[in-house]
Structure 1
């Protein structure tokens, strides 16, 4: 399998792409896993994720960490960035944002396993952390801690 074969069907990589204004119109793309058959973990970290509170319209900020064990497919990173960026003007609660991102990736990739940690900055004085996984972590893989400390404020 050559790089040309892997990337031949992509529509966003390597060219100017309009930023989607809503997650439902964002196009997530995938590429064949060149290491299919090997078990390994892929991690994406989005430390500046933003969305809107659906009630007040005020911005919400989170640090997202996505880990997955691929089978046949990898998410194409530019499409993932644009997908995450599409939440910028989208009103949804923390839980809905975090879980919907995880579910959309599972639907696209059919990974062996996926988890997402949404470490949300305080709203109304209280941080909210949301965690979702497609199932139990597979045995026999190295799965590092997501490395995001609990919110401590100024303490």
Structure 2
């Protein structure tokens, strides 16, 4: 999959208001869900107990943690846009994050992104990106929101 390469604040600004594309699909496994539960100390049974989830939930399956799906944002975003010539990138904020649909174990998801705005903060690019995490063959996205990154370009 080809992606957009951006090397400066000016190049980033050229894409303002545009849908930038979609990432590859990524499958979320039970092993990943289990590791995320251990890393975050969130061992709620709906994520880990397949037998109980099968009988006691409308999903009939374990589901990924919502924050696990959010944590995939930088990885999936990097498949859409490659930012080069950086000193540093900072995750700045997430606005209007809404979880719309559970992601079941073994669902494949991908990110769709639109660059809403780019602001110049004394040479630091503040990029706000409208995101939707789409579930393969799903009717609704897993979540929608606006994520903002700060890009500190070298020059």
So what's the TM-score if we normalise by structure 2?
A: 0.30
In our comparison, the structure showing a higher alpha carbon Rg is 2
Q: Return the TM-score normalized by structure 1.
A: 0.30
Structure with more relative contact order (C-alpha pairs < 8 Å, separation 6 or more): 2
Q: Looking at secondary structure, tell me which structure has more strand per residue.
A: 2
